[in-house]
Chains A and B, each alone.
Chain A
Amino acid sequence: MPEMETENTNSTTTEPVTAENPDEKQKKTTYAAVYDPECLPDMLPVYYRRLFPHKPFYRWLSYGLSEDGIFVNREISFTLHDDIYIRYLCFETQQEFEKELCTRCPFKIDIGAVMNTRPKNNRISAAAMAPVQRELVFDIDMTDYDDVRTCCSDKSVCQKCWKFMAVAANILDTAVKEDFGWEHILWVFSGRRGIHCWICDYEARHLDTQGRSAVAEYLQIINNAMGSNGASVSRVFIGERMHHSVRRAYQIIEPAFEEIILRDQNLFSSPKGIEKLCNFIGDEVARQETEQFLLNNVEDGAPALKVWEAFKRYANSMRCNATQSVWSRRLKNIIEEIQLACLYPRLDINVTKGFNHLLKAPFCIHPSTGKVCVPFNASVAGKFNPTTVPTIAQLLQEINAFDEKNKAEDEADEKSRIKDYKKTSMFKGVVVFEEFVRKLETSLKAKSKKLNEINMEF
């Protein structure tokens, strides 16, 4: 059985659609549209017919047809109503794919690998079927941050916790660009509490399992250890010198640490937060001593900012005073290590390692929240607001309102229907997506042109 992204689609918990600070344009419509999961089957046909960006979606997965079978051998899977799950689908053309989406209206679309043959033939040739390429993907889930967030827990997410995601996306985006030289990177909000990253450069798509796992581990610096209270705690160990990729991450994390960890989350506020802070210390004796020191020297109820200042002073003095102690050796970078442990991307690296892993496609509707899995721009991830991502209900209301308004003016403008999403708050996500596809195609064209020129010379 191939790995699947596990997300509990049956859950009924949904975070409230807060319309506190909606986009200017959508002010009128957001307040009324409340998403009801019961109605999803009724809404999906309209969504797939009028809003799903079929064309750029096909253009992405066809990669300018730069390689044999690149679209037709791609495994797609559908999750239909009532959790009916169909694997090994594949499509010959954009038209066929679009038609299938509109008639079957999947609750979820998953994208798998490009196989060496049509995936639907798997029954005939299961033994011989093998993946030949696949985007390198990353999955970051908010629930992995539960030990460092106090604002929400579990499935819920607010603008404060989104900052963790924004920092993570920022770090990862820079790392894959600078260290690995990749540039075709698509970031997608997963519809509730996580983000997905698709790296679509040729070299990344063609990495083998070993290569994927090496990249994943390169980017995974957080170790899970057992804290004093028995709970799992995330730790980072820098070692002798800080590797350049870790230093670069640190330079992103350091300025954000105060706002996110100390102010927003108030993570280390006395007295409970002190234990939390000290759990980051890997040495048992040092941990106990630090905890005792902080409990004795920080007033009860002090905010995280004060506790952190006290901790930094303590750690620095320990490091200077006792040059032969654990503080000047294993714990010499403890301050930076704690900051990294709080904010460095927490990757589900098994998703990245799997060559054949299925991952939810962009522009799916999350069945529990009704939200669209919209692409976003990593460089301005901080401005993205997961709480105002439109739900399918909202989108349908928006096109209805638009239709109403324009009925009189232009009844039979077929062309405008194709670009329905432009009338809605999904617009921005589609623009990000189209921009990504356009860049991808340009670079593929340049590459094939170069190849042609080389061939011409012979």
Chain B
Amino acid sequence: MRKVVTGNMAAAIGAKLCKPDVISAYPITPQTTIVEYIADFVADGSLKTQYVKVESEHSAMAACISASNLGVRTFTATSSHGLLLMHEMLGWASGARLPVVMVNVNRAIGPPWSVWVDHLDAIMQRDTGWIHIFAENNQEVLDSMIMMYKICEDHDVLLPGMIHEDAFYLSHTSEPVDIPDQSKVDEFLPKYKALVKMDLDNPLGFGSLVMPDNYMEFRYKIALAMDNVREKIIEVDADFKRLFGRSYGGMLDLYRCEDAEYVLLGAGTTASTVREVVDELREQGKKVGLARLRVFRPFPYEEIRKLARSVKAIGVFERAFAFGYMGPFMAEIGGALYNTDIRIPIKDYIIGLGGRDVRTKHIHAIFNDLEKIANSGKLDKELKWFGLNDGNRPEEEM
């Protein structure tokens, strides 16, 4: 069934379709409507779940973790400061190998207060042992939730996962979304079967003290599980396509990259704007493309290496900045390419922080800049804060 819904409604419907046994969440702008829609579903009887209305995001994640330890499916949603408050418990979920799934609405971190999109909240959770998927549109929010449970609950994985949606551009913007049939979702996503769980007949301790002679092995197993995720994502994406007719390109979503000479690489809704500009420039005969960083953890370094071999330059667009260094994606891409013979220029464009609009004209300006770099093979500078209000109108005419 096709419906016109916001990203938050898509997330709430996604939660309903995946039938979590326990949901625990706490409101924060712009995630709030997710918790409200879920409450409506519970109130009208269309969602049978234990809805634990906690007093903080920290407790929301703690309740999900403790419930998940009993082998039941759990869900939560948050944003920005809420995600930061959860941080301690995020590590607990992955360390305890629990497939908790969450939707995070990407929002800037204050002060100054801002409720608009920015990816730093997600980036700050990079090393927590969670799988990270950035959605580009509302359909992908919903579809990724169904796929995420399937990936996380796989016994070769058993890790938690979060789906990121851009504040307002997705959370509060309505788009047509195909709502899959419950029966098909049930077929694709059977009930979660835990490998071990809290069980009166087999009383075990979960998460106890481990001495230095064993701790490393626990961490290593998480690393292996995270490596398994790469294959699983591709496998689940293909299965999903077979059943629902939609695919998201697995780890790195490539658009018109086959013969591209220079490409833009980045995550979130900006990718849609880039897609449009790619089409316009292709009309003009320019060989451009988009590589959408759909999966941030595990990082698609192989896919990026492969792409980098075939292009002359890469521009990275990112809605986050890692203070004291550069854009977080840029740093990671540099790391992915260093131990190879690939030596192409890569330029980092910091854009749209705190919800600043990024329009097609801005992407055109970035592609123009990148074209010069691709043709000359020379990088003027590694990093550009694109379109700052610095008093004199910048060359991009913000």
Q: Do A and B interact?
A: no
